[in-house]
Amino acid sequence: MTARARLPMDPGRVVTAWLSQHIQALLYSAGQMCRNPLGSLLTTAVIGISLALPAAFYLVLANSERVASAWGGAARVTLFLKMDVTPERAQALATSLRGHPRVLDVRVISPDEALAEFRRASGFGDAIEQLEENPLPAALLIQPDNARFGGTAMEEFLAAMRALPEADTAQFDRQWVQRLVALLNILHRAVLILAALLALAVLLIIGNTIRLSIYNRRTEIEINMLFGATGAFIQRPFLYSGILHGLVGALLAWLLVSGAVRLLQGPVAELAGLYASEFVLHGLAAENVVKLLGIGGVLGWVGSWLAVQRHLRDITPL
């Protein structure tokens, strides 16, 4: 008796059958969501809010970092001169400081220029017009060579500037920006922790949704097992259901964040105008939207996979 020769399988038909099964599972999962619109809406709403919170905090950090980099990109030392320093002496001091090995440039700001700048930036033009004399001193804007300032070198340079006989005081313009950057680093870690906790919440939400779906379709699953359905065939609709919940939740999160950005753009632009800044509040970029959707889909898949692996083991054929 000879063994029957096995006919070779057409790879194209195998791929077509595989795609057909996945498309059917996807459409079946979408249909299940549409048949239970209220439950699906509540689940995706909770997922959307959970994903929107870290996305919103990420935007706050990203825009704050843009402000810090724009205002703190060039470290400058402002040297305020005494009121009795003449313009000639101020120019001579600026010339002397330009020869300093750690100084790139020095700009002299006269009292009139300082008053005009203050009038433009402060918005107190009418009040300034009532002043009998200019209360502002001359100042020197010193651009140091940042590459040569490490450790305590900047503090030593500030002390030397304050010790000059013409100097009233000196300040490092970027100190507050450095403090802001340090604070943003702390907030960045806090956002990562918050995102991890909310991601865990999304996993629990999707896992619980899939668990309820498995119990509601227990009889159908048992019948499929009785007719020889494979584990992959039974699991596939639940996995796609989790992915769809995650994707729709991520899409809702993007809509929530985009709506919040649109509502805040006007007030933020108005506030920036008061500080003579052209800062514009930015929303999520296209690549970040793709990442958000990807995170939602992955969380949906992981949550549903964990639920399927945990609860399908308890079901046996009739």
| pTM across the whole model | 0.66
Q: What is residue 301's predicted lDDT score, i.e. its pLDDT?
A: 93
Rounded to whole angstroms, the Cα distance separating 80 from 169 reads 5
User: For residues 256 and 299, is the Cβ–Cβ distance under 8 A?
Assistant: no
Which residues make up the CATH 3.30.70.3040 domain(s) of the chain? Answer: 74-173
**Token digits for 56?**
């919103």
- pLDDT tens-digit profile of 146-189? 655 555 677 788 788 888 888 888 877 666 666 777 787 888 88
Of the candidates 84, 40, 45, 77, the residue with the CA atom closest to the CA atom of residue 252: 45
pLDDT in tens, 237-258: 889 999 999 999 999 999 999 9
Report, in this order, helix, strand and coil percent for the chain, each rounded to 5: 70, 10, 20
Q: Is residue 18 packed enough to be buried (19+ CB in 10 Å), middle (13-18) or exposed (0-12)?
A: exposed
Q: Cα–Cα distance between 281 and 290 in angstroms, integer? A: 20
Say which CATH topology domain 74-173 has: Alpha-Beta Plaits (3.30.70)
